[in-house]
Structure 1
Amino acid sequence: MGNRRRVVERRKTKPAVVGGMIAVVVVGAGFGAYALYGGGAAADDGTGSTSASADHKHVKTGPLSAAEVDTAAHGFLTAWQQGKVPQAAAVTSDVNAATALLTGYTKDAHITGVTLTEGTRTGDKVPFSVKGTVSYKGTSKPLAYRSSLTVVRNKATGKPQVDWHSAVVHPDLKDGDTLVTGESGTPPVKAYDRDGGELTTAKYPSLGPVLDGLREKYGKIAGGKAGVELRVVRGKESGKAKLSDKTLLALSEGTPGKVKTTLSPTLEAAAEQQVAGKPRSSVVVMRPSTGEILAVANNSHGFNVAFQGSLAPGSTMKVVTSTMLFEKDLVHPNDSHPCPKTYKLAGWTFHNDAGSEIKKGTFKLSFGASCNNAFIDFSPKLSNSDLTREAQQVYGLGLNNWAIGVPSFDGSVPVQSGAQMGASLIGQGGVRMNPLNMASVSSTVAAGSFHQPYLVSPSVDNRTLAKAARTMSSTTQAELKDVMSYTARYGTAAKAMAGLGSGCGAKTGSAEVDGQEKPNGWFTAYCGDLAASGVVQAGGHGGDTAGPIVAALLRMGG
């Protein structure tokens, strides 16, 4: 089979043996183990090694040969195309899951006339294209998309098999999701920006997940009428990740309802442009005085990292940590406070970036330089739950009660002890955030109190927005603005924030990730009545990566 493109066709001839290998995989109704693996106790695959013997004492191991990958892939795709679900599922790593999804492909999704065309194999991965027809109650539309599969060796039998995931059937499927064609339970919606312009993925490419979320939330109350469509219905795991159902093909459009959002057309367009140039980047802009979300954009147009990401925020978390330290009267911006090169806590040795230290300086200097150990050395004076309480009570984080209008992750600051508690103070350990959360942190500093971010006005559906248990004192707010302003003018954020004036504050962050060469770069800032935060995953230092994205949007005002 080599690397040639070919269309899987039904063959009625018996397999021809060429050089000891099976050249044709499918043999009508006789498709099975013999067709895939040559039958017999030990079949030669052209490599000189043998597969498992009849008594399974000798199980083949090692990398798959090209012939094994081609044979397994071709066999699976041929059986699927011919509607032979048991045979197709039998050569996967999860027979039950494959059987259920492939059965539903015809029964529930109503997809017929399937043609599968293999592309060029790369190692153990085989891409393929899918063409078929979706038919429902007299209405039909063609369907076409691309997918891929990976072949692995079964550890028990030594035989090659398709590594089963739902994404093999369609790339938009997560494991546990299903495909369904029928009258949609949720009418479509048309979403509009704050000025009345329609929001589309053609105009704003990364808004796909947001528009899906708006339909799921408001479709039934926005005045629309449901149409007929092929859609992804999310399963348990996708539900936990707050992924919305997704329309793949509309057979009849239905009548969309209308939903107005808080997005600014100029800021949204600028945000899309900013993330387009930086892989794995995400950004959120909001208004501190109200909580309105003015822009959201992701370089990747699939998962909405900006709203639903769960990432260690690195040193941007020091804003929350500093709030706690100021309120507890443990330190204040101009207090003398060294930042040692290393600090030992519960068996861990913490280091500063590039092995730096500040022997004589103020806490404000350490904040501006993002010197880690100036924060971690407060650990003995703190209880395990202090940071968690601060994040929840003042910043509204980690309570899972934000209602922004679409699915979101509200941050997490778990109670931890020992070295992990120390790591939490600098945004590592178990702390998890996304740009929405960190934009809200800067927004809270700018406004002096927490205003839950929202994308759709609560008046649309009479929902209740989350509130913080308490408000920071005016003294604490002034101290936070002092250290963040210093950072924006003279510290690690100065380069990105250059020229933005005195009414701005910022904090950079770099979050180390196991197995990742470069850290995730974070940046959070405010200017007047705008606040924003961004992340560039595996980008490096936040001041150099996420900083320019955030600063460019703050320069637009609004």
Structure 2
Amino acid sequence: MGNRRRVAERRNSRRPVVIGGVIAAVVAGAGVGAWALSAGGTDAGDDARTTAAGKNVKTGPLSATEVTTAAERFLTAWQRGEVAEAAAATDATAAAKALLTSYTEDARIEDVTLTPGTRSGDKVPFSVKATVVYEDVRKALAYDSSLTVVRRDGDGEPRVGFTPAVVHPDLGEGDKLVTGEAGTPPVKAVDRDGGEITTAKYPSLGTVLDGLREKYGEKAGGRAGIELRVVRGKESKAKKLSDKTLLELSEGTPGTVKTTLDPQLQALAEEQVAATEKASVVLTRASTGEILAVANSGHGFNTAFQGSLAPGSTMKVVTSSLLIEKGLASADKAHPCPKYFTYGGWKFQNDDKFSIKGGTFKASFARSCNTAFISQAGKLSDDALTQQAQEVFGLGMNNWAIGVPTFDGSVPVQSDAQKAASLIGQGGVRMNPLNMASVAATVKSGTFHQPYLVAPSVDDRELATASRTMSAGTLSQLRELMAYTADYGTAAEAMAGVGGDAGAKTGSAEVDGQKKPNGWFTAYRDDLAAAGVVQAGGHGGETAGPIVAALLKAGG
């Protein structure tokens, strides 16, 4: 009862939001006060329109006063614990009220102080300082968030556009914050040499550690502690996002989970992606499937394992294996590469509209000629590429068990123009660096080995398998194509100096609304296979290529 009494007292406190050292005056739960004077910008006059029912609806850009007033009303009410008033200041009253109530009752967060930053257009950043209280344990909580003011549907009144991320940036739809005894004990993840894996050492691995805890926390023999964590809802679980610890109030006893990560290669992967925005990379051992390194320059979503992106021309590795098996292409035989090719009502072209006259399939592969592949679409069944990806490369069946959540690729059955686009890694085809590293590994080793981060012997799980392998002739030609591309094709510059038994393929995947394509690169060297993507980076040979090549060189 003591805790609930303290919460009630704090809810009734009348502390206003403190903005830039100035106390903002709040009258009747709203008002601009001193904040509007310090927010910057000038007021634009409100536009308005009249509905058929004669109701005046505000329209047009929001003025500085409207933004600051709406934001101040929301933040001040939230800080005071006036949940209903704060929710009413948003465009989603019911959702806001439920989450803000949970913020106090489930997350047990008290003494909230919200400090707005400098407004930028309709967006207002703010910092949160509070205390998490569980029985007799108290711990400070601090984080940054932001809100955006919008015009409410119906009347155009300025309101805070409510999403769970306003309350905490790690929250998605259906997620909530909970403080209590963790349902899952913590784990101490270690690399292949026994060294502890931490986010301080490897910033990319936060989501990986969350996944390892979810999978192995109870099996590893640890004991749960008290913590504030994000508990995922249906939408986040559908995206394979794990619960996330935000604050540890009392330590649990971790169990130990050994991974296949190589500490030197992981450190290098972190270093490589840190220099490039939106970069992701995975390095595996081709003969076993062991994951030696994984890194993302953005430390939130794990694009390397869970991304779902069009792989562009790196998919031509899979398509080439299909065409060779079907007798529709052969490495050293003549193959058409026109400037344009129309199929299914779409006119396809090559990058810079080039063509190759009298060239071989190997030349088309090395230069990444789109029309060389599109021209064969009419000779293939709608499900041919789907079957090849599943049966030979183990892709698209959602059955990989690497030790943490993954997206295992998707090659849907398509027809007409979409079928043709799939042959060059566009259309409905979706992959991530883990998938494409596995493709390179399959070519190098000759058979699909499901990648894994935790050895299957740890929990007796079964790894996914492919139903068949490529013929020796097909495999030999595919290796010849990738080796030639690494030596003389679009991958040559990035692969210079890699040495050994090496092969590669570049890719550029067009994305609607992006000025530059996503740059892809997949390659192998001896018993190593890797793939990377740089989103909106441009050509894969220039962006993802150097990242992949650096890891292949270091792991030799």
Class of the TM-score when normalised by the shorter of the 2 chains: over 0.9
Alignment CA distance shift 1:320-1:53 (3 Å): closer
SS of the counterpart of 1:199?
coil
Question: Equivalent residue for 2:551?
Answer: 553
Question: Equivalent residue for 2:167?
Answer: 169
AA in 1 matched with 2:26:
V
Gap regions ≥5 residues in structure 1: 1-8, 13-22, 37-44
AA in 2 matched with 1:62:
G
Query: Could you list the per-position Cα deviations for residues 209-261 of structure 1 after superposition, in whole angstroms to 9, with x for gaps in the alignment?
Result: 10111011000011110000000001111111111100000000110110000
Q: Distance in 2 between matches of 1:474 and 1:343?
A: 31
2:56 is the counterpart of 1:58: yes
Does the Cα contact within 8 Å between 1:228 and 1:254 map onto a contact in 2? yes
The match for 1:145 among 143, 154, 158 is 143
* CA drift at 1:57: 2.1
Q: Distance in 2 between matches of 1:466 and 1:50?
A: 60
Q: Distance in 2 between matches of 1:359 and 1:52?
A: 62
Gap regions ≥5 residues in structure 2: 1-12, 17-23, 34-41
Q: Distance in 2 between matches of 1:278 and 1:354?
A: 25
Does the Cα contact within 8 Å between 2:32 and 2:68 map onto a contact in 1? no
Alignment CA distance shift 1:340-1:104 (3 Å): same
The match for 1:410 among 408, 411, 431 is 408
* CA drift at 1:11: 6.6
Question: Equivalent residue for 1:469?
Answer: 467
The match for 2:494 among 490, 493, 496 is 496
* CA drift at 1:84: 1.0
Does the Cα contact within 8 Å between 2:314 and 2:506 map onto a contact in 1? yes
* CA drift at 1:93: 1.4
* CA drift at 1:332: 0.9
Query: Could you list the per-position Cα deviations for residues 63-98 of structure 1 after superposition, in whole angstroms to 9, with x for gaps in the alignment?
Result: 000000000000001111111111111121111111
AA in 2 matched with 1:367:
F
Q: Distance in 2 between matches of 1:232 and 1:11?
A: 28
SS of the counterpart of 1:60?
strand
Question: Equivalent residue for 1:439?
Answer: 437
The match for 2:226 among 215, 224, 228 is 228
* CA drift at 1:52: 8.3
Alignment CA distance shift 1:336-1:502 (3 Å): farther
After TM superposition, list the pairs within 5 Å mapping 1:152-551 onto structure 2. 152-501=150-499, 503-551=501-549
Between the aligned residues of both structures, percent identity stands at: 69
Q: Distance in 2 between matches of 1:49 and 1:502?
A: 68
* CA drift at 1:330: 1.5
AA in 2 matched with 1:117:
T
Alignment CA distance shift 1:221-1:58 (3 Å): same
Does the Cα contact within 8 Å between 1:11 and 1:26 map onto a contact in 2? no
Does the Cα contact within 8 Å between 2:32 and 2:72 map onto a contact in 1? no
The match for 1:10 among 1, 8, 14 is 14
Question: Equivalent residue for 1:121?
Answer: 119
Alignment CA distance shift 1:197-1:381 (3 Å): same
- Give the TM-score, by structure 1 length: 0.92
After TM superposition, list the pairs within 5 Å mapping 1:79-98 onto structure 2. 79-98=77-96
Q: Distance in 1 between matches of 2:498 and 2:83?
A: 62
Does the Cα contact within 8 Å between 1:485 and 1:502 map onto a contact in 2? no
* CA drift at 1:60: 1.2
AA in 1 matched with 2:187:
V
Does the Cα contact within 8 Å between 2:45 and 2:63 map onto a contact in 1? no
- Number of residue-to-residue matches in the alignment: 528
Q: Distance in 2 between matches of 1:134 and 1:515?
A: 42
Q: Distance in 2 between matches of 1:166 and 1:60?
A: 26
Question: Equivalent residue for 1:19?
Answer: none
Does the Cα contact within 8 Å between 2:281 and 2:530 map onto a contact in 1? yes
Does the Cα contact within 8 Å between 1:331 and 1:363 map onto a contact in 2? yes
Q: Distance in 2 between matches of 1:51 and 1:470?
A: 66
- Give the TM-score, by structure 2 length: 0.92
SS of the counterpart of 1:337?
coil
AA in 2 matched with 1:10:
R
Alignment CA distance shift 1:49-1:198 (3 Å): closer
Does the Cα contact within 8 Å between 1:52 and 1:157 map onto a contact in 2? no
Does the Cα contact within 8 Å between 1:69 and 1:151 map onto a contact in 2? yes
Query: Could you list the per-position Cα deviations for residues 128-187 of structure 1 after superposition, in whole angstroms to 9, with x for gaps in the alignment?
Result: 111111011211101111111000011311100000100100111112110000000000
* CA drift at 1:501: 2.6
Query: Could you list the per-position Cα deviations for residues 92-118 of structure 1 after superposition, in whole angstroms to 9, with x for gaps in the alignment?
Result: 111111111000000000001111111
AA in 1 matched with 2:342:
K
Question: Equivalent residue for 1:40?
Answer: none
* CA drift at 1:51: 6.8
SS of the counterpart of 1:294?
strand
Alignment CA distance shift 1:489-1:47 (3 Å): closer
Alignment CA distance shift 1:236-1:26 (3 Å): farther
Query: Could you list the per-position Cα deviations for residues 522-542 of structure 1 after superposition, in whole angstroms to 9, with x for gaps in the alignment?
Result: 000001100000000011100
Query: Could you list the per-position Cα deviations for residues 272-331 of structure 1 after superposition, in whole angstroms to 9, with x for gaps in the alignment?
Result: 111111111000000011000000000011000000000000000000000111111221
AA in 2 matched with 1:190:
K
Does the Cα contact within 8 Å between 1:10 and 1:26 map onto a contact in 2? no
Q: Distance in 1 between matches of 2:439 and 2:157?
A: 53
SS of the counterpart of 2:395?
coil
Question: Equivalent residue for 1:25?
Answer: 26
